[in-house]
């Protein structure tokens, strides 16, 4: 007990020294939390952007649809399955789609396009389709009219202004002949030329009628609260709806995006490693000077008869107190900082911001507020602090009283 | 001034371990900055190479209205002469003329919208490496008609295999609908899934005949031998063909440009964070050094050393540490990056993710970021100087009588 | 005669942990050029505080201290630093020298701070080292010098700037008697040869015997102030004006 008291008194006796040591730990925690929260946040944001473009986080199809994306592999709408999916705790929103190819023609011009039948009210919850309308209007609630939204590029290629009519020709369900006339009520803009040049949206029931696919959907598109539990959510949905369906995550649907993210995550790990190294050196430098400064004092304590083991315990207690206080303070201080970076994310400007906006992305690097992050980073620095605290112990072990007291 | 510098220099060697720790920190900071830049330059270079050498090439030439309307009629006439002229330009490595037709692909089981490219196989191999991308079949063979090369994703989707038959429907130059049967001569795989699903290759001779086009094409892809030559080549083409639309890869693949710039921007953010870590390391270590010398500093003030000089004394010490640490860091970065640039870093082993066979390499080859070297050096030096301000101010705030009582 | 120090009603109270301690209590002191004065008294009698006040390292709560015509209690912190540099020479009890500088550099530092011309600095340093008898140790680092030698270098450094007064706080406290006597010899020689005013605090009887004026402090007040007759001295000794 008296050892603890001595350690406590030592800490208070030289406050600026204690403050410097604790601040080394404090800033280490602050920086590593901020870094990892930014890293996580950037990926979260990127994934959210990517999936809100088109695919959603998870899609549910009839088993086999993904391999052969034809209407013949569409699923019959099933209210029970839909409510099971929608009621899954991690699922934010669910939208049904029917999707196939068609030729769109206006007068002499004919172009291939992708026809997507969407639920006008559910779709924006996943892809913000209503916010992509560049001219004209979005569908009405429960729209049953023969109206279409065209991607801007496609409209340009067809030389089709809002208000005109487009004729669609395709092959429907089971080879049925599909043909229809639709009035263009709006144009939607996508930053990616791939999508911008070929998408054509119809209200779901209208598309089903066009494809002679009443009550059929090719995919259920899901949005999640977070990307964290992606695989787990997909697996648990799959279990509850059975083998008649396939449940695919965005990673399976867009493996190339996942590859890019994996590569970037790898580089992020390297960056974190470098950060820890620098933080470690910072803490070590502080401890080193601390011991240089206290050499005389420690030598004196040994000289007057304090056992080295006891002295080491005192120093250990001091270190533990310093590290813990610095860590806890750092974790507490990083909460408002990260929160701030989450609410007011780092916003960039210039060419990059313009490019982001063209793609319909917000030009920001938000921070992730995942609670685990604080704990994990706190523990990493804590461990590093404890490990480095062995240095003062080693120094005491090797302490030579005579040289120590010769100032 | 001389005395200040020499005192600062000798102060550095009072506690060698401390100085070495700071120097290593500075060196590490520099290594960190350069390494991150180098890492990203490697990643981007890899992606850029994929985009340029497998997808869009450096430059593409079109009829100004073609890409908007995709009308067969907006073609480039006297294509062979045009291609030969472009091929003879400086820095041009390979040129491929493509006839482009959007159309429908149909099999007995399904259909898909596709982009049909009519190419001269040898030229296309040279520009986008079509031959290297084949995973099934041997591609176009001479003296055979109506061969098609399709992507693996498309093949899976519509259930096609090597030698399967398929029907392509598209419009010819007079806007008549044309259908013709083809046989799959090869299946290719690329890193770009959406393209793999959409692009199908025909022999230019077949496509041109069906589209009623003589010596014409829609697109000329130009691969240069150096990335740096792009702007010059672009200007040159613009001068030669003011009536044609010349676009570079940045315009053709805005996503790639977006990705590159995103990476550039956030690498700067992380460099700033790393520099903050470096700064706190220096501040703390130097602060401790000042605290250790409290008595001595008190004596210097008592003897009449004024604040500016005292401030400079601590500042000089940090400056010298920085100047010693920086070249060491530079050398270390160069060695590290050059070494890893040759052997590559296996990202999959670091992130624990399995890199599946999508033609992706999990190896990153960092490149020494010569272009960002001044920026990184500048950031590190500013960081070290800023860091030295805190202990310098701390030294100023010491009161001589109290300092000496210790 | 030339007045060097004129202190009036000087009081200084320290307040550590809420119990006020009067370190210097209503002290009057008058010192003329060329005096060789010992400040004596038991521990805690206020010797160091008084020296610090005279040297401008600390400010009195009340009273004035006029050094060669300048009331230093009215100077700002920056002016004080410059004043000390030009008018006061210090010799401290121990750890007097900057460890990273050689003996010569320690002495030259003060002159360099005063921006004296280089040639003059060299000349003055050489003379001073000759006077303290350490010419052969000029380029030695303090760690390689004995305690006595270090204090001699400190005295040389104090004199380097040709100050009005040299203040020495227990300069012999850490020295053996031979070194102490040697240091005193040098101080008194410099006092004579350069007509330099010295005030030094001490409680070493043998050192006190060498002083020509002894001021005794008890509880921060001057208890006695006596002039001693030194037969070897050529000058008249000023008696206390009181």
Among chain C residues, CA nearest to B298: C57
Q: Could you give phi then psi for residue A287, rounded to 5 degrees?
A: -65, -35
* Lowest-pLDDT choice from A175-184, B353-362, C177-186: B353-362
Arithmetic mean of pLDDT, C123-147: 89
Q: Kindly indicate the confidence band of residue C234, based on its pLDDT and cuts at 50, 70 and 90.
A: very low
Q: Kindly indicate the confidence band of residue B1, based on its pLDDT and cuts at 50, 70 and 90.
A: low
Judging contacts by C-beta atoms under 8 Å, the chain A residues touching residue B270 are 35, 38-39, 271
A100 Cβ contact list (under 8 Å, min separation 6): A70, A71, A114, A115, A170, A171, A211, A218
Give the model's pLDDT for residue B262: 75
Arithmetic mean of pLDDT, B238-244: 91
> Smallest CA–CA separation between B4 and chain C, in Å?
9
Give the model's pLDDT for residue B120: 92
Q: How many C-beta neighbours within 10 Å does residue B357 have?
A: 8
Helix (H) or strand (E) holding B188: strand B177-188
- ipTM for the complex? 0.79
| Secondary structure class of C139 (helix, strand, coil) | coil
Q: Kindly indicate the confidence band of residue A273, based on its pLDDT and cuts at 50, 70 and 90.
A: confident
Please report where in the chains the tokens 């010349």 appear, as a residue. B246
Residue A352 to residue B28, Cβ atoms within 8 A = no
Touching B: which chains, 3+ CB pairs < 8 A?
A: A, C
* Lowest-pLDDT choice from A400-404, B337-341, C83-87, C140-144: A400-404
Rounded CA separation A114/A99 (Å): 7
Rounded CA separation B393/A261 (Å): 44
User: Is B168 a residue whose pLDDT tops 90?
Assistant: yes
Give the model's pLDDT for residue C200: 92
Give the model's pLDDT for residue B60: 92
Judging contacts by C-beta atoms under 8 Å, the chain B residues touching residue A407 are none
User: Is B385 a residue whose pLDDT tops 50?
Assistant: yes
Judging contacts by C-beta atoms under 8 Å, the chain B residues touching residue A34 are 273
Residue A352 to residue B276, Cβ atoms within 8 A = no
Judging contacts by C-beta atoms under 8 Å, the chain B residues touching residue A265 are 351, 353
Rounded CA separation A161/C147 (Å): 99
Give the model's pLDDT for residue A238: 92
Residue A288 to residue B35, Cβ atoms within 8 A = no
Give the model's pLDDT for residue A76: 92
> Smallest CA–CA separation between B142 and chain A, in Å?
31
Q: Kindly indicate the confidence band of residue A263, based on its pLDDT and cuts at 50, 70 and 90.
A: confident
Arithmetic mean of pLDDT, B363-391: 82
CA atoms within 13 A on the CB side of B372: 23
Give the model's pLDDT for residue B356: 44
Q: Kindly indicate the confidence band of residue A405, based on its pLDDT and cuts at 50, 70 and 90.
A: low
Give the model's pLDDT for residue A333: 92
Give the model's pLDDT for residue C236: 44
Give per-residue pLDDT as tens, C7-66.
999 998 887 666 778 888 889 999 999 899 999 988 888 888 899 899 888 888 899 999
Give the model's pLDDT for residue B9: 84
Q: Which two three-digit tokens encode residue B2?
A: 């001389």
Q: How many C-beta neighbours within 10 Å does residue A406 have?
A: 11
User: Is B358 a residue whose pLDDT tops 60?
Assistant: no
Please report where in the chains the tokens 């994996």 appear, as a residue. A262
Q: Does A277 touch chain B (CB under 8 A)?
A: yes
Give the model's pLDDT for residue A191: 73
Percent of chain A, pLDDT > 90? 30
Question: Average per-residue pLDDT in chain A?
Answer: 86
Q: Where do runs of H (alpha helix) occur along C42-200?
A: 47-54, 77-87, 103-113, 118-132, 147-160, 177-193
User: Hey, which residues does A221 pair with through a beta bridge?
Assistant: A59, A95
Arithmetic mean of pLDDT, A270-275: 82
Arithmetic mean of pLDDT, A260-285: 81
β strands within B52-176, DSSP E = 59-62, 76-77, 92-106, 111-119, 134-137, 147-151, 165-171
Q: Answer for the pair C93, C169: CB distance below 8 angstroms, yes or no.
A: yes
Length of chain C: 242
Q: Does C118 touch chain B (CB under 8 A)?
A: no
Give per-residue pLDDT as tens, B69-115.
677 888 888 888 999 999 999 899 999 999 999 888 988 877 788 99
Give the model's pLDDT for residue B201: 95
Give per-residue pLDDT as tens, A150-180.
999 899 888 889 999 999 999 888 888 889 9
Give the model's pLDDT for residue B220: 93
Rounded CA separation C72/C60 (Å): 10
Question: Average per-residue pLDDT in chain B?
Answer: 83
Arithmetic mean of pLDDT, A277-282: 83
User: Is C197 a residue whose pLDDT tops 50?
Assistant: yes
User: Is A120 a residue whose pLDDT tops 60?
Assistant: yes
Give the model's pLDDT for residue B404: 65
Give per-residue pLDDT as tens, B272-286.
888 888 888 788 778
Judging contacts by C-beta atoms under 8 Å, the chain C residues touching residue B304 are 81-86, 88, 110, 113, 161
Rounded CA separation B390/A384 (Å): 25
Q: Does C76 touch chain B (CB under 8 A)?
A: no
Arithmetic mean of pLDDT, B120-124: 91
Chain B interface disruption, residue of C113, C116, C165, most B CBs within 10 A = C113
Give per-residue pLDDT as tens, A32-69.
898 888 888 888 888 888 788 788 899 999 998 887 78
Give the rounded distance of the alpha carbon of B114 from its chain centre. Answer: 29
User: Is A266 a residue whose pLDDT tops 90?
Assistant: no
Give per-residue pLDDT as tens, B304-346.
888 888 888 888 888 888 888 888 888 999 998 889 888 887 7
Question: Average per-residue pLDDT in chain C?
Answer: 85
Judging contacts by C-beta atoms under 8 Å, the chain A residues touching residue B102 are 111-112
Give per-residue pLDDT as tens, C67-125.
988 898 898 888 888 888 888 998 888 767 888 888 998 898 888 888 888 898 999 99
Among chain C residues, CA nearest to B303: C85
> Smallest CA–CA separation between A141 and chain B, in Å?
30
Give the model's pLDDT for residue B112: 82
Give the model's pLDDT for residue B361: 58
Q: Kindly indicate the confidence band of residue A116, based on its pLDDT and cuts at 50, 70 and 90.
A: very high
Q: How many C-beta neighbours within 10 Å does residue B2 have?
A: 8
Total-model pTM: 0.72
Give the model's pLDDT for residue A174: 87
Distances (CA, A) of A398 to A291, A393, B80, B349: 12, 9, 84, 40
Rounded CA separation B221/B120 (Å): 12
User: Hey, which residues does A110 pair with through a beta bridge?
Assistant: A105
Arithmetic mean of pLDDT, A293-297: 80
- B295 → closest Cβ in C52, C58, C95: C95
Give the model's pLDDT for residue C17: 65
User: Is A308 a residue whose pLDDT tops 60?
Assistant: yes
Judging contacts by C-beta atoms under 8 Å, the chain B residues touching residue A115 are none
Return the number of CB contacts < 8 Å for A and B: 226
Task: Enumerate residues 45 to 84 of chain B having a beta carbon within 8 A of any beta carbon in chain C.
Answer: none
User: Is A357 a residue whose pLDDT tops 80?
Assistant: no
């Amino acid at each position: 007990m008296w050892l603890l008291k001595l350690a406590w008194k030592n800490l208070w006796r030289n406050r600026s020294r204690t403050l410097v040591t604790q601040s080394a730990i404090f800033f280490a925690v602050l920086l590593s939390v901020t870094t990892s929260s930014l890293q996580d946040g950037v990926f979260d944001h990127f994934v959210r952007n990517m999936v809100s473009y088109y695919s959603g986080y998870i899609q549910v199809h009839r088993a086999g649809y993904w391999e052969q994306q034809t209407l013949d592999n569409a699923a019959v709408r099933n209210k029970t399955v839909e409510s099971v999916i929608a009621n899954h705790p991690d699922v934010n929103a669910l939208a049904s789609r029917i999707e196939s190819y068609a030729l769109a023609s206006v007068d002499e011009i004919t172009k291939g396009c992708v026809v997507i039948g969407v639920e006008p009210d559910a779709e924006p919850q996943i892809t913000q389709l209503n916010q992509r309308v560049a001219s004209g209007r979005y569908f009405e609630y429960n729209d049953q009219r023969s109206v279409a939204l065209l991607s801007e590029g496609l409209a340009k290629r067809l030389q089709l202004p809002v208000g005109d009519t487009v004729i669609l020709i395709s092959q429907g369900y089971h080879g049925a002949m599909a043909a229809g006339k639709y009035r263009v009520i709006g144009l939607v803009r996508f930053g990616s030329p791939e999508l911008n040049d070929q998408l054509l949206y119809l209200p779901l029931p209208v598309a089903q009628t066009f494809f002679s696919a009443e009550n059929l959907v090719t995919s259920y598109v899901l949005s999640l609260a977070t990307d964290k539990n992606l695989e787990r959510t997909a697996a648990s949905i799959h279990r509850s709806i059975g083998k008649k369906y396939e449940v695919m995550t965005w990673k399976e649907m867009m493996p190339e995006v996942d590859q890019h993210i994996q590569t970037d995550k790898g580089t992020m790990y390297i960056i974190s490693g470098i950060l820890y190294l620098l933080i470690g050196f910072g803490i070590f430098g502080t401890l080193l000077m601390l011991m240089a400064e206290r050499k005389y004092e420690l030598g004196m304590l040994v000289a007057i008869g304090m056992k080295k083991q006891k002295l080491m315990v005192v120093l250990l207690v001091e270190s533990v107190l310093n590290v813990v206080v610095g860590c806890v303070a750092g974790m507490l201080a990083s909460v408002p900082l990260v929160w701030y970076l989450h609410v007011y994310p780092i916003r960039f400007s210039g060419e990059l911001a313009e490019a982001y906006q063209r793609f319909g992305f917000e030009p920001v690097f938000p921070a992730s507020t995942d609670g685990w992050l604080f704990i994990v980073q706190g523990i990493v620095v804590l461990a590093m602090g404890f490990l480095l605290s062995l240095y003062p112990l080693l120094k005491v072990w090797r302490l030579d009283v005579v040289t120590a007291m010769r100032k | 001034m001389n005395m200040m510098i020499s005192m600062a220099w000798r102060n550095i060697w009072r506690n060698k371990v401390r100085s070495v720790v700071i120097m290593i920190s500075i060196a590490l900071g520099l290594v960190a900055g350069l390494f991150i830049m180098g890492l990203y330059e490697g990643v981007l270079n890899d992606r850029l190479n994929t985009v340029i050498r497998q997808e869009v090439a450096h430059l593409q030439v079109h009829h100004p209205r073609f890409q908007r309307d995709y009308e067969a009629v907006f073609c480039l006439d006297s294509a062979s002469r045009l291609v030969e002229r472009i091929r003879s330009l400086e820095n041009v490595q390979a040129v491929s003329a493509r006839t482009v037709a959007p159309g429908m692909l149909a099999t007995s089981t399904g259909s898909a919208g596709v982009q049909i490219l009519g190419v001269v196989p040898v030229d296309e191999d040279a520009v986008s490496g079509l031959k290297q991308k084949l995973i099934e079949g041997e591609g176009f063979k001479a003296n055979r008609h109506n061969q098609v090369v399709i992507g693996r994703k498309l093949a899976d989707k519509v259930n096609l295999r090597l030698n399967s038959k398929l029907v392509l429907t598209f419009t010819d130059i007079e806007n008549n609908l044309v259908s013709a049967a083809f046989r799959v001569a090869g299946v290719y795989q690329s890193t770009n899934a959406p393209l793999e699903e959409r692009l199908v290759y025909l022999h230019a001779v077949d496509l041109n005949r069906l589209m009623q086009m003589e010596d014409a094409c829609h697109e000329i892809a130009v691969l240069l031998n150096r990335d740096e030559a792009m702007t010059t080549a672009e200007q040159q083409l613009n001068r030669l063909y003011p009536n044609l639309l010349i676009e570079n890869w940045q315009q053709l693949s805005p996503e790639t440009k977006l990705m590159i710039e995103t990476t550039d921007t956030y690498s700067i953010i992380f460099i700033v964070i790393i520099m903050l870590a470096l700064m706190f390391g220096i501040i703390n270590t130097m602060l401790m050094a000042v605290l250790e010398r409290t008595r001595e500093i008190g004596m210097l003030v008592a003897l009449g050393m004024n604040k500016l000089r005292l401030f400079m004394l601590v500042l000089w010490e940090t400056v010298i540490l920085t100047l010693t640490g920086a070249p060491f860091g530079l050398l270390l970065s160069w060695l590290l990056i050059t070494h890893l640039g040759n052997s590559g870093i296996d990202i999959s082993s670091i992130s624990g993710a399995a890199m599946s066979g999508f033609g992706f390499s999990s190896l990153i080859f960092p490149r020494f970021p010569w272009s960002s070297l001044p920026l990184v050096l500048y950031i590190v030096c500013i960081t070290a100087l800023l860091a030295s301000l805190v202990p310098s101010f701390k030294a100023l705030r010491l009161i001589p009588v109290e300092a000496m009582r210790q | 005669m030339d007045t060097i120090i004129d202190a009036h009603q000087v009081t200084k109270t320290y307040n550590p942990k809420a119990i006020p301690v009067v370190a210097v209590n209503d002290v009057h002191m008058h010192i003329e050029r060329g005096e060789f004065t010992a400040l004596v008294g038991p521990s805690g009698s206020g010797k160091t505080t008084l020296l610090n006040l005279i040297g401008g390292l600390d400010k009195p709560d009340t009273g004035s201290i006029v050094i060669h015509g300048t009331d230093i209690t009215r100077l700002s912190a920056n002016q004080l630093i410059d004043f000390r540099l030009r008018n006061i020479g210090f010799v401290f009890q121990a750890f007097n020298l900057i460890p990273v500088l050689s003996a010569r550099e320690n002495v030259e530092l003060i002159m360099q701070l005063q921006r004296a011309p280089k040639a003059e600095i060299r000349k003055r340093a050489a003379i001073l080292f000759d006077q303290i008898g350490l010419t052969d140790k000029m380029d030695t680092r303090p760690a390689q010098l004995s305690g006595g030698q270090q204090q001699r270098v400190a005295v040389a450094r104090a004199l380097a700037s040709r100050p009005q007064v040299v203040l020495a706080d227990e300069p012999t406290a850490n020295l053996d008697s031979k070194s102490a006597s040697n240091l005193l010899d040098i101080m008194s020689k410099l006092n004579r040869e350069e007509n330099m005013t010295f005030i030094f605090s001490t409680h070493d009887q043998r050192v006190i015997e060498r002083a020509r004026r002894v001021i005794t402090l008890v509880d921060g007040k001057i208890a006695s102030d006596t002039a001693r007759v030194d037969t070897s001295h050529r000058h008249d000794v000023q008696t206390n004006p009181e």
